[in-house]
């Protein structure tokens, strides 16, 4: 049964997918927009050209037919009138001229015998001289000069006008030889309606073309982007460490070549990572085996050096004063070698992923006080830790962390070293601050690196160069973190942040692994071991 959380995650994923597709940076959206703009431009251009051509054809055809009939009527009707006709004669002639197949209105104007202007109208005065533009009247009544290029003194003129938002064709001509002047008025409203219908049809065709282009763009984008999406998913899986990821290759186009290149790259990467993992595993096993093998002779050597050290401390004179410095050097170097082996084994456990927490609820103030006391640091360390802050941690690992941080501060920063403990929400925060010169800025990013040497002139130091690295790994296994910085007041500040409850189920096999140390689960032994590790800050990191 699907859980509500799964449904919400599904809706959220679908929403992210849709929003990703709608982003203008999305290739899919850009393809659709480009296809749409191209289709819109082509459709609008084609529709505009088609409309203009059809408009001119329709209007020209109607205009030629109307003007032809009017000119014919002027020749057959108006020219047969006597020179000074009466209004009745003009009226009858106008009616006969308007009775054409083109159905236009006619206005005839002439002079009677008394020189008075008379008019004849075919539409009962609905078409008057006021409906004729002045420019057209002047052109019709203007006598032209007769020449080889102009055989007639008067010509037929026409003009398109709009009256009351309706289109009309107005034409006029004058009978040569003193006859009447005639004007015609033809409504172009039917043609305008036909052209409007054509415009709507072209607009609908343009819209359909735009929709079709969007669908084609979507199909093209899907065809192009599906391999790209598969490639992105495969690259993401490869980045997550799934080196066996491969793409299914089909076709011979550029995307298929890209998929083949990806497969070859992934195969090469998988092989290289496998080789590196094998070498890394061999190196870790070598270090682990070497550390275990060294512990047997070191145990015997350590026992001998402890006896020699006791003789030196007892001052019984059993040790020749001439060889006393050499004996002390052997004791010191044996202890250093023993610490290095212990640290290498600890690092090997972290690298192999076998390190586990053995958690317990402890009072942090008591734990840090015990860490300081067992190392005789009470005079050099100032502790500001209120009692009652309880945390579920591994006491041994916390002791190792604090021994490294405080010992590092004492060695490289100088006393007094101040330790501050506080709670921040669900976290435990411990700050270790010294009063030294601080950490150089170029060293800060490397203070937790293994065997890092801050100065090439000091390749050897008393510490192993693993102290801070081991402290950081112990913080990580608790789910915490350690950061290093310089205080504005001077000196370095190491900040340990741990969850107050960092419990983890105990692994039964971990008992056997840690049992090799001889100090598993024993805070005192772990503290002493960390004390011997010398808590080195990356071998002279400041």
Q: Which residue segments constitute the domains of the chain, with CATH numbers given?
A: 24-199 (3.30.450), 360-453+464-499 (3.30.565.10)
CA distances from 16 to 13, 226, 229, 421, 500 (A): 5, 17, 15, 44, 36
Residue 412: both structure tokens together? 């490289």
Residue 124: both structure tokens together? 């009962």
Whole-angstrom distance, CA of residue 167 vs CA of residue 212: 36
Q: Give 225's contacts (C-beta < 8 A, 6+ positions apart).
A: 27, 28
In terms of DSSP bridges, do strands 417-424 and 381-384 run parallel, antiparallel, or are they unpaired?
Answer: parallel
Burial class (CB in 10 A: 0-12, 13-18, 19+), 214: middle
Nearest to 169 by CA among 87, 69, 50, 48: 69
Rounded (5°) CA angle 461-464-470? 140
CA distances from 173 to 72, 124, 444 (A): 11, 21, 103
Residue 353: both structure tokens together? 């992923």
Nearest to 536 by CA among 401, 411, 397, 436: 411
Whole-angstrom distance, CA of residue 497 vs CA of residue 401: 11
Whole-angstrom distance, CA of residue 78 vs CA of residue 412: 125
Nearest to 55 by CA among 165, 189, 200, 196: 196
In terms of DSSP bridges, do strands 166-174 and 360-363 run parallel, antiparallel, or are they unpaired?
Answer: unpaired
Work out the number of other CB atoms within 10 angstroms of the CB of residue 379. Answer: 9
Asked if 467 and 482 touch (Cβ cutoff 8 Å), the reply is no
Whole-angstrom distance, CA of residue 307 vs CA of residue 313: 10
Whole-angstrom distance, CA of residue 320 vs CA of residue 332: 18
Residue 399: both structure tokens together? 């002791």
Nearest to 209 by CA among 37, 31, 51: 37
Burial class (CB in 10 A: 0-12, 13-18, 19+), 335: middle
Query: Residue 332: CA atoms inside 13 Å, Cβ hemisphere, count?
Result: 10
Asked if 381 and 420 touch (Cβ cutoff 8 Å), the reply is no
Angle between helix 254-314 and helix 324-352 axes, rounded to 10 deg = 150
Asked if 312 and 320 touch (Cβ cutoff 8 Å), the reply is no
Helix then strand then coil, % of the chain, to nearest 5:
55, 15, 30
- pLDDT per residue as tens, the chain (542 positions): 455 555 555 555 555 554 544 444 566 777 777 777 887 888 888 888 888 888 888 888 888 888 888 888 888 888 788 878 888 888 888 888 888 777 888 888 888 777 788 888 887 567 888 888 999 889 888 888 888 888 888 888 889 888 888 888 899 998 877 778 889 888 888 888 888 888 888 888 888 888 888 787 777 777 777 777 888 888 888 888 888 888 888 777 777 888 888 888 888 988 988 888 888 777 777 766 766 777 778 777 878 778 777 777 776 666 677 777 887 788 777 777 777 677 666 777 666 666 777 888 999 999 999 999 988 888 889 999 898 899 999 898 899 899 889 988 888 877 789 999 999 888 999 999 988 888 888 888 888 887 776 554 444 445 557 788 888 888 888 889 999 999 888 889 999 999 988 664 444 344 434 333 333 333 333 333 333 333 333 333 22
């Amino acid at each position: 049964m699907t859980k509500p959380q799964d449904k919400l995650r599904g809706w959220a994923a679908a929403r992210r997918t849709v929003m990703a597709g709608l982003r203008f940076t999305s290739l899919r959206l850009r393809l659709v927009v480009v296809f749409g703009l191209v289709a819109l431009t082509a459709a609008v251009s084609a529709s505009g050209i088609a409309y203009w051509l059809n408009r001119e054809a329709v209007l020209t055809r109607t205009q030629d037919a109307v003007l032809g009939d009017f000119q014919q009527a002027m020749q057959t009707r108006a020219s047969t009138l006597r020179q000074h006709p009466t209004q009745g004669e003009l009226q009858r002639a106008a009616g006969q001229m308007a009775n054409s197949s083109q159905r236009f209105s006619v206005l005839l104007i002439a002079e009677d015998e008394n020189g008075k202007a008379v008019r004849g109208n075919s539409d009962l005065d609905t078409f008057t001289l006021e409906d004729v533009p002045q420019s057209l009247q002047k052109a019709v009544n203007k006598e032209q000069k007769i020449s080889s290029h102009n055989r007639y003194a008067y010509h037929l003129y026409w003009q398109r006008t709009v009256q009351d938002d309706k289109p009309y064709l107005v034409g006029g001509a004058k009978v040569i030889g003193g006859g009447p002047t005639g004007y015609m008025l033809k409504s172009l409203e039917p043609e305008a309606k036909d052209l409007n219908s054509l415009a709507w049809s072209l607009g609908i065709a343009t819209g359909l073309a735009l929709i079709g282009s969007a669908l084609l763009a979507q199909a093209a984008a899907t065809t192009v982007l599906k391999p790209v999406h598969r490639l992105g998913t495969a690259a993401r899986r490869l980045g997550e460490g799934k080196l066996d990821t491969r793409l299914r290759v089909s076709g011979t186009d550029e995307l298929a070549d890209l998929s083949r290149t990806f497969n070859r790259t992934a195969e090469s990467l998988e092989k290289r990572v496998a080789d590196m993992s094998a070498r890394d595993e061999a190196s870790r096993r070598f270090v682990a085996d070497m550390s275990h093998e060294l512990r047997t002779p070191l145990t015997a050597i350590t026992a001998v050096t402890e006896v020699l050290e006791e003789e030196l401390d007892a001052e019984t004179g059993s040790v020749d004063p001439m060889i006393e410095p050499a004996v002390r050097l052997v004791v010191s170097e044996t202890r250093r070698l023993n610490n290095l082996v212990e640290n290498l084994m600890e690092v090997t456990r972290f690298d192999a992923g076998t390190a586990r927490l053995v958690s317990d609820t402890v009072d942090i103030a008591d734990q840090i006080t015990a860490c300081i006391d067992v190392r005789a640091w009470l005079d050099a360390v100032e502790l500001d830790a209120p009692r009652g802050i309880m945390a579920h941690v591994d006491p041994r690992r916390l002791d190792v962390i604090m021994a490294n941080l405080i010992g590092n501060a004492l060695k490289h920063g100088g006393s007094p070293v101040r330790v501050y403990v506080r709670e921040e929400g669900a976290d435990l925060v411990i700050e270790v601050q010294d009063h030294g010169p601080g950490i150089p800025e170029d060293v800060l990013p490397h203070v937790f690196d293994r065997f890092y040497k801050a100065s090439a002139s000091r390749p050897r130091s008393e510490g192993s160069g693993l102290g801070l690295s081991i402290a950081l790994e112990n913080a990580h296994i608790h789910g915490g973190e350690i950061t290093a910085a310089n205080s504005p007041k001077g000196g370095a500040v190491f900040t340990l942040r741990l969850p107050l409850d960092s419990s983890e189920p105990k692994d039964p096999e971990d008992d056997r692994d840690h049992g090799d140390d001889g100090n598993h689960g024993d805070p005192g032994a772990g503290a002493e071991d960390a004390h011997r590790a010398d808590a080195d800050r990356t071998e002279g990191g400041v």
